[in-house]
Amino acid sequence: MRTAAWLCAVVLLALPLSTGAQERGVTADEVIIGTSMPLSGPAAYWGAVGRGMEAYARYLNDQGGIHGRRLRVVVRDDSYLPPRAAANVRELVERVGVFAIVGLIGTANAFAVRDYIVRNQVVWITPTADATMWYGFRDKKYLFVTYPSYVEEAKILVDYAARQLGAKSIAVFYQNDLYGQKGLLGAKQGAVRSRVRITAQVPYEVTQADVSSEAVKLRESRADAVLLYATPRHGALIVREMAKIGYTPKLLSSFTLGDPIMFTLAGEAWNGVISTGFFPLPGTGDSKVDEALAILTRVDPSLRTNPFNALAGWAFMEPFVEGLRRAGRELTKERFVTAMESIRNWDGQVIRGVTFGPDRRQGINRVFLTRAEGGRWTRLTDWISYPTGF
C-alpha cells in the first residue's frame, strides 16, 4: 500500500504545473465571458445590451476570434433585481467559470455584487452603474470602466437647462434606488452651480405600473424643466402622463433613455427631449458606428428595434477585446491587466477616447448632448468633459 501511494505521489508531482494553474475561463480555444442583464421585468428594454454583446462576439468568432480563441458570452437574466444579479454572478464565477464579467446592468445590482467580484479577483469590464461608486474604493485592480457618471451627467444637463433653455426651476423624476438617487444628487449639485431651484423631487418604484400621481406632483411644482432618471418604460409613462394633463416643461434625460425605442413607447411626447450620449449615435453621420450597427443587426435582426442599446453592448465589449489582443496568446489575468493599463486615448469602432493606466480605471470622462425629434437624435454639442475620479 505504501509503495502504491508513493507511486501515485510521484505521478502527481510529475504532472505539468500548468494543469493546476489553468486560468479560469480560458481554454486553448475559448474565452468565457459572463454578464447579468434584465432580459425580463420593468427594465427589459435594456436587455438588448446583452444581445448586442452576444452578436458582437459572434461577429468576432466568424473572423477567427482573438488569437485563435472564440469568445463565449453567457448571459443570465436578473429581471433588474439585485438578489438575482448576485445569484447570477455567483453561478457565472463558481459554476460556469468565467474569465471576466462584462457589463452587468444597474447601479443597485452592481453594488450588490461588487464585494463578491472583488473578493474573488474577477476581471470586471464596465459595470453599467454610476461611476462615482468607485470613488475612493481601493480594490480596483481587475476593474476597468468605460461608463459615464450619472452625478456628473446630471450636473451637465442642469447646466444646459439653465444656460441654454432658460430654466429657473427644475424638478427631478427618479427611480428610487441608487441609479435614480445618483441622478438626483447630481441635479442638486448642478442646481447650486447653475443657480436654479429644485422645486420637486418625485421618486417612483420600479415595480409601479402607474405614474399618474407623480405627473400631478411634477405639474404642481411648476418647474420649467424636468430631469428624468428612469427605466425606458417609466420614462415613457411619465412624459405621456404629463402631456395628458397639459404639463409641457422642457424635458431632459439620462443617456440611459437614449434608444429610439423611446419614440415608440412615448410617441410624440418624446419629441424635444434633451439627452446625453457617451459614444456617437447611429444615424448622426458617424460611418464607423453605422457600420457596427449594420453588423449587429445582420447577426441578430431583432436588434433593429433597440439600436442604441445594441451598440452599447458592442461598446462595453470593445475595450475588453482590445485588452485580449494586447495580452497576446498566453492569456492570464495579470497579462490582461497589464495590457489594459497600456491603453491610452484609444478609439474603438464605437467607444472613443479610452484611457487606462496603473492608477486610472475610469476609462472615459465625457458626454455630449443631443435632442430628440421625429424618431431621431440630433447632436447639439461637442464633447463635454468632467473630472476623472478614479
pTM: predicted TM-score of the whole model, two decimal places: 0.91
Going by the DSSP 8-state scheme, the letter that residue 9 receives in this structure is H
Residue 16 pLDDT: 35
CB 226 within 8 A of CB 249: yes
Report d(CA 23, CA 21) in Å as an integer.
Answer: 6
Residue 244: exposure state from Cβ atoms within 10 A (0-12, 13-18, ≥19): exposed
Q: Which residues of the chain have pLDDT under 50?
A: 1-20
Greatest distance between any 2 Cα atoms in the chain:
90
Report d(CA 366, CA 356) in Å as an integer.
Answer: 14
229: left (phi over 0), alpha (psi -120 to 50) or beta: beta
User: Please, what sign has the CA dihedral across residues 97, 32, 117, 229?
Assistant: negative
User: To which residue does cell 430631469 refer?
Assistant: 227
Residue 22 pLDDT: 83
Report d(CA 127, CA 216) in Å as an integer.
Answer: 35
Residue 262: exposure state from Cβ atoms within 10 A (0-12, 13-18, ≥19): buried
Q: How far is CA 289 from the centre of its chain?
A: 17
Report d(CA 127, CA 144) in Å as an integer.
Answer: 9
User: To which residue does cell 452592481 refer?
Assistant: 110
CB 138 within 8 A of CB 194: no
Residue 186 pLDDT: 98
Residue 21 pLDDT: 56
| Residue 60, all three cell numbers | 468576432
Helices (H), the chain: 2-14, 48-62, 82-91, 107-119, 150-163, 178-194, 212-221, 232-244, 261-266, 287-299, 307-327, 333-341
CB burial readout 173-207, b (16+ within 10 A) else e: bbbebbbbbbbbbbbbebbeebebebbbbbbbebe
- The CA-based angle 103-377-161, given to 5 degrees, is 90
Report d(CA 15, CA 202) in Å as an integer.
Answer: 64
CB 75 within 8 A of CB 35: yes
Report d(CA 141, CA 341) in Å as an integer.
Answer: 10
